[in-house]
Amino acid sequence: MAKQRRLRDERDTFDLPSDKLGLPPGTIVHVGERRTEAVELELIRYDAKEIEKLALKPDGPFDELKDRHKISWLDLTGVHDVEAVKRIGDFFGLHHLVLEDVANTHQRPKEETYKDYLFIVLKMVRYDGMEEGLDTEQVSLVLGADYIISFQERPGDVFDAVRKRLDAGRGRIRLSGADYLCYALVDIIVDHYFLALEKLSEEIEFIEDEILLDPGPETIEKLHRLRRYAVALRRAAWPLRETVQKLSREDSTLISDDTKPYLMDLYDHVVQVVDTIEIQRETLSGYVELYLSSISQRMNEVMKVLTIVATIFIPLTFVAGIYGMNFEYMPELKWKWGYAGAWAGMFAIGLGMYLFFRRKKWL
Query: Are 110 and 66 members of one domain?
Result: yes
Q: Supply the pLDDT for residue 4.
A: 46
Give 40's contacts (C-beta < 8 A, 6+ positions apart).
Answer: 55, 75, 76, 77, 78, 155
With bands split at pLDDT 50, 70 and 90, how would you rate the model's confidence at 132? confident
Q: Which residues contact 331 (CB under 8 A, 6 or more apart)?
A: none
For residues 81-110, average pLDDT: 91
The domain spanning residue 321 has which CATH number? 1.20.58.340
| pLDDT confidence of residue 181 | 95
Gap between the Cα atoms of 94 and 36, Å rounded: 25
Any bridge partners for residue 121, and if so which?
110, 140
Separation between Cα atoms, residue 145 and residue 351, nearest integer Å: 90
H-helix or E-strand containing 94?
Answer: none
pLDDT at 165 > cutoff 80: yes
Residue 81 shares a structural domain with residue 171: yes
Residue of higher predicted confidence among 69 and 23: 69
* Residue that wins the pLDDT comparison between 219 and 262: 262
Whether the CB-CB separation of 52 and 74 falls below 8 Å is answered with no
- Regarding whether 174 and 132 lie in a shared domain, the answer is yes
CA distance 20 to 248: 34
Q: Report the C-alpha gap between 220 and 43 in whole angstroms.
A: 47
Burial zone of 344 (CB within 10 Å; 0-12 exposed, 13-18 middle, 19+ buried): exposed
Phi then psi for residue 23, to 5 deg, are -85, 150
Last residue of a domain, one of 237, 267, 294: 294
Region class of 312: left (phi > 0), else alpha (psi between -120 and 50), else beta: alpha
Q: Residue 170 belongs to a domain with what CATH number? A: 3.30.460.20
**pLDDT tens digit string along 208-257?**
888 877 777 888 888 888 888 999 999 999 999 999 999 988 888 899 99
Cβ atoms < 10 Å from Cβ of 22: 7
pLDDT at 1: 45
Mean pLDDT of the chain: 84
Counting every residue written for the chain, the total comes to: 363
262 and 329 both lie in a single domain: no
Please check whether residue 7 is in contact with residue 55, taking contact to mean a CB–CB distance below 8 angstroms: no
Query: What does the longest C-alpha to C-alpha distance in the chain come to?
Result: 120
Domain with 98, as residue range(s), is: 2-294
Cα end-to-end distance, the chain, whole Å: 50
Contacts of 52 (CB under 8 A, 6+ apart): 44, 45, 46
Helix or strand (DSSP H, E) at 54:
strand 51-56
**One domain, residues 236 and 315:** no
* 323 and 248 in a common domain: no
Domain identity same for 313 and 199: no
User: What is residue 166's predicted lDDT score, i.e. its pLDDT?
Assistant: 92
Same domain, 77 and 19: yes
Are 49 and 105 within one domain?
yes
Q: Are residues 234 and 205 part of one domain?
A: yes
Q: At residue 8, does pLDDT exceed 80?
A: no
Pick from 162, 158, 120: nearest CA to 136: 158
Quote the pTM value.
0.79
Please state the domain count of the chain.
2
3-state DSSP call for residue 86?
helix
Amino acid at 189: I
51-56 and 71-77 beta bridge pairing:
unpaired
CB atoms within 10 A of CB 38: 10
pLDDT of residue 262: 94
The model's confidence at residue 164, banded by pLDDT at 50, 70 and 90, is very high
Helical H runs in the chain? 2-14, 82-92, 96-103, 160-168, 178-213, 217-248, 260-323, 338-359
Mean pLDDT of all residues in 264-269? 94
Q: How confident is the model at residue 316 (pLDDT cuts 50, 70, 90)?
A: confident
Per-residue confidence (pLDDT) for residue 66, from 0 to 100? 65
